[in-house]
Structure 1
């Protein structure tokens, strides 16, 4: 009798242990459980790539980039002259700031044109008289500036650069109203703001 009770007790304990093990296994391996689902969802969200943020462009964007490249390039050429010919420290500082701002924009504009499968204007071989963009200097203007130095250069540089900036602002306003590419329109807005401020600054220097 005692042997029977002992065997029965042992069997009951074994059954309880087996049931507990099966329950734990079911809880840990249930892919439909809240914890498992949340973990899978979080993992999928973390590994999913962000959608591409493309921006459409139109003919106005292409025209803006193709025109602004030689326009900027001429401003950089003028700024390079100021480094050795200007007598005013303010003019030299302004010229350096113009070059620092516009040289990188030339690269950006060129990159946009390449991505749009549009022609990129050749850099380093400018015919100043061949451009009809607002504010562009004629060949004679550039020649006069190259020959000037000291206070005469300062005055000529400021007057010509004011006109040059006014042309850039005009072009940028056209891009803001007619363009479609968000980045190009943002650059146009930045040009309007920065170059308008520089126009005011240059006019003050001319009045001194």
Structure 2
């Protein structure tokens, strides 16, 4: 009986020692894991609260783009700005309600697109095109009006303004469609290509509408 009790005590001591070892190992593992987990959590927190520049660099908009995407945005922004300037003139100089409605729609579509493209350029670390109202940029992009064209449009009014506006805006839209088709063929960034496709669709439709209005005059 004494030998049996001694054996039982020895077995209990061994089991207790083993359990203690397991607990200590578990605590050590938990501490290490907790530290790693805590570190991972902290890294996650840092990622989610990182600076805008870091976030932009890691975002899709900062990555999957190419030179064609950058060129499209840099050229289409001033192109759109001029279209908006022309549309603004129509609000006070046009005689036709159809022309005024068209001008309002053009401005309503292109103003937000300017903001969108500006956001892309910023996220790509590219400078935004400067405001260059009054300067002649007709040689740089297809469909752009010259400084002389804009001066004539500013001096027009009534039916004469309507005809001039429609003729110039048809040419302007044709240039935008050409630029957008180049982006569709050569660009890489999905949202930029989608915008280019939307430009082709909307402005092709508006060209048809403007040509019909010109035929009425």
TM-score per shorter chain, which class?
0.7 to 0.9
Question: Which of 70, 93, 102 pairs up with 1:94?
Answer: 102
Matched, 1:62 2:98: no
Alignment of 1:41-190 (within 5 A): 54=60, 56-123=64-131, 125=133, 127-129=135-137, 131-190=139-198
1-side partners of 2:178 and 2:145: how far apart?
A: 15
- Following superposition, the deviation at residue 155 of structure 1 comes to 0.1
Larger Rg: 1
Counterpart in the other structure of 2:213: 205
Aligned residues: 157
Structure 2 unaligned residues grouped into runs of 5+:
1-57
Across the aligned residues of Structure 1 and Structure 2, the Cα RMSD in angstroms comes to: 1.4
2-side partners of 1:160 and 1:130: how far apart?
A: 12
- Following superposition, the deviation at residue 53 of structure 1 comes to 7.2
**3-state secondary structure, aligned to 1:158:** helix
CA pair 146-201 structure 1, distance change in 2 beyond 3 A? same
- For the Cα contact (< 8 Å) 1:75–1:99, is it kept in 2? yes
- For the Cα contact (< 8 Å) 1:69–1:121, is it kept in 2? yes
